[in-house]
Structure 1
Amino acid sequence: MRICIVSDAWAPQRNGVVRVLESLAATLTSHGHRIDIIHPGLFVQVPCPSYPEIPLALFPSRKLGRLLHQIAPDAIHIATEGPLGWAARRWCLAGGYPFTTAYHTKFPHYVRARTGVPLSWPYALIRRFHAPSRAVLCPSDSVRRELGEWGFANAVPWAHGVDACRFRPQPKDFVKVARPLFLYVGRVAVEKNLPAFLGLDLPGTKMVVGDGPARAGLMRRFPDIDWRIANGDQELSRYFAAADCFVFPSRTDTFGLVMLEALASGVPVAAFPVPGPQDVLGNAPVGVMKEDLKTAALEALTISPERCRAYAQTFSWDRVATEFLTRLCVIAPLSCNPAAE
């Protein structure tokens, strides 16, 4: 099958959405499918407001239409709600082509965090975006339920996976710091709720590996934190493996792929008991979820690394890709039979 994925998030951006799409595309390709990615790098770009490191396609509609005609895909998946996502949506609706979408990011919560507007406003916009989709793929069942509460009638669950070969136990002495090492990896932005971790009174070292618009301000506010940026996935995997506990302070993530990457590295997780951590960790004894994040982090230190890795290895990208294929709608008259929920 020839599948076209339209995404406003793609390399050289480094975030969970890009990681998911790269892993999905690689797995589908290994299964014999042809994957075409339409991404901002193919267009004239402008910096995203408040996220200058993220490029957005400028007036992409005409070129995107030409690309889709040239590709002539068997199925179209729109991964993001940015300029490319809206342009692809218009093209599909104008031509009567079925498509699927994905809900990777709690965009309404991020808008509220930055502007203070009521959640209902951005949710109305996002609901409109996804309404014509034959299936809105959600990374967890709790997100699917939450979207249902906001009036989404077409949301379906679609879990994510982890590359357990790339993320694996490795020597702890990659970093020379006081132990235990409490680690956060990911985007440094207001919606990640990092002060809830950075302000904890914990023994040893607190380390942040990542970049983002809030990094400079948080570095000034928390000068005792060990701030790092990883140079490529190999180095990133070594940071994960070097930790004694991975702390995930976000309350708004739809999934939190970095938690799986930590677990695959043999590192237990501490998090708040909210959707995202609840979906990744479930009832497995591989992490601690408490409103008292300090206690959760300290208790997580007693968890077996072997147990963490064994649990992460159950999240296979082959399974994720197979489920993705069942959600797609083939572009042909009356050929689409959307998955019923």
Structure 2
Amino acid sequence: MMYRLLCELYGEENVVVVETKDYRHNAPRVVAQTVRCLLTCRDVFVSLSRNGRKAFFPLLSFAARHLHTRVYHNLIGGWLAQDLEECPQQVSYLNDFRVNWVESHQLVGKLEELGVGNAEFLPNFKYLDGTEVPESRYYGPGYRFCTFSRVQELKGIGDAMDTVEKLCSEGLDCCLDVYGPIDPSYKEEFETALSRCVHAEYKGCVAPEKSVQAIASYDALLFPTKWKPEGIPGTIIDALAAGVPVIAAKWQYYDEMLEDGVTGFGYGFGNNELLADEIKKFIELGNGANELRKGCLARAVAYSPEAVSDVVAAAVDGERLRD
């Protein structure tokens, strides 16, 4: 999404890409691309995983100090503070960059406490690609729920399946579709769960550009995550953009993205036994769930390209003027 935004702002012909995926196994290509980037670009945007940061941050810090490269670090997720506690030397690298954009206001504060003086909030964002989402729809029996994330135990997929099965046994008419890549270590357990949960079905993976379209056909998204380092999940942005209310465990950044009774319902993190009660609360709304739908669509504006384009352009163009 950031690549697309930069192409729109500055022209695709002016954006050089360094693909760092599997960099250890593609070292010659990655080195060549990196050298080309640093020799031809004054402005460098970087989004790296935890291991990638360890490998590339020292190089980018050197470029910032000695080549006067303007480095804009666009962090995905909420894992950086924990990394700095384990590797405090990375603080100096981050302070060499022009800005460290993070997706959470809480994380800005945590980084400042750890000595990072240039952390700023920049929301995650998503292009809708012309997907039209009506403001209202019919909600009634035959409720269709989905999960849209990695399929693993810590995402609470099994809990979602068991909960829907329990509700069906109580006479509620509902089903669950599961989307996402299956974690190999969870495959056997997941297949066993599918065999006993007759009202759940695995739907495979959906391309990122089709995610909003896929989620839009459901009544609500279930997000019973049990992963403590959960950051700013893209699936929540997808649901908001699709006007689909979210029923979720209140992970650490829940209140920054969602609001009880406005975008859906939440319950205490680590208490997935409460998921059933929140689903019942949602079902009891009937067509009143259209108010939640409107709340989701209104909240989605904060995660649109328009919400970040001016910030990005101001940062880059402002630095160019100062230089």
TM exceeding 0.5? yes
Which residue in the other structure is 1:270 paired with? 247
- Contact 1:147–1:155 under 8 Å retained in 2: yes
Alignment partner of 1:58 is 2:24 = no
Alignment partner of 1:209 is 2:184 = no
- Contact 2:81–2:107 under 8 Å retained in 1: no
Root-mean-square deviation (CA), in Å?
3.6
Query: What are the ranges of 5 or more consecutive residues in structure 1 without an aligned counterpart?
Result: 1-22, 47-56, 112-118, 171-177, 336-341
Change in 2 beyond 3 A, CA 1:94/1:155: same
- Contact 1:166–1:237 under 8 Å retained in 2: no
Alignment partner of 1:280 is 2:257 = yes
Alignment partner of 1:162 is 2:131 = no
**1:275 shift after superposition:** 3.4
**1:249 shift after superposition:** 2.7
Alignment partner of 1:258 is 2:235 = yes
Change in 2 beyond 3 A, CA 1:218/1:202: farther
Query: What are the ranges of 5 or more consecutive residues in structure 2 without an aligned counterpart?
Result: 135-140, 169-173, 269-273
Looking at structure 1, the residues matched to 231 and 107 of structure 2 have their Cα atoms a distance apart, in angstroms, of: 6
**1:321 shift after superposition:** 1.8
- Residue of 305, 317, 324 corresponding to 2:305: 317
Looking at structure 1, the residues matched to 47 and 145 of structure 2 have their Cα atoms a distance apart, in angstroms, of: 32
**1:84 shift after superposition:** 4.7
Letter in 2 for 1:163: Y
Alignment of 1:1-341 (within 5 A): 23-33=1-11, 34-40=14-20, 46=25, 57-58=26-27, 62-70=31-39, 72-81=40-49, 82=52, 83-84=55-56, 87-107=59-79, 120-121=85-86, 124=88, 127=91, 129-169=93-133, 179-189=142-152, 192-200=155-163, 201-203=166-168, 204-213=174-183, 214-223=185-194, 224=197, 225-233=200-208, 236-250=211-225, 251-282=228-259, 285-291=262-268, 292-301=274-283, 302=285, 303-304=289-290, 305-328=293-316, 335=323
Looking at structure 2, the residues matched to 133 and 142 of structure 1 have their Cα atoms a distance apart, in angstroms, of: 20
State the TM-score, normalized to the length of structure 1.
0.69
- Contact 1:168–1:266 under 8 Å retained in 2: no
Computing the radius of gyration from Cα coordinates, the structure with the larger value is 2
SS at match of 1:253: coil
Looking at structure 2, the residues matched to 87 and 79 of structure 1 have their Cα atoms a distance apart, in angstroms, of: 14
Change in 2 beyond 3 A, CA 1:314/1:127: closer
Change in 2 beyond 3 A, CA 1:165/1:307: farther
**1:158 shift after superposition:** 0.5
Which has the larger share of helix? 2
**1:261 shift after superposition:** 1.2
SS at match of 1:68: helix
Change in 2 beyond 3 A, CA 1:93/1:193: farther
Greater alpha carbon shift after TM alignment, 94-103 vs 125-134: 125-134
SS at match of 1:40: coil
Looking at structure 2, the residues matched to 310 and 333 of structure 1 have their Cα atoms a distance apart, in angstroms, of: 35
Looking at structure 2, the residues matched to 186 and 129 of structure 1 have their Cα atoms a distance apart, in angstroms, of: 32
Looking at structure 2, the residues matched to 234 and 222 of structure 1 have their Cα atoms a distance apart, in angstroms, of: 29
State the TM-score, normalized to the length of structure 2.
0.72
**1:109 shift after superposition:** 9.0
- Contact 2:267–2:278 under 8 Å retained in 1: yes
Identity %: 13
SS at match of 1:311: helix
Deviations 1:298-322 (A, max 9, x none): 3344321344334324532022122
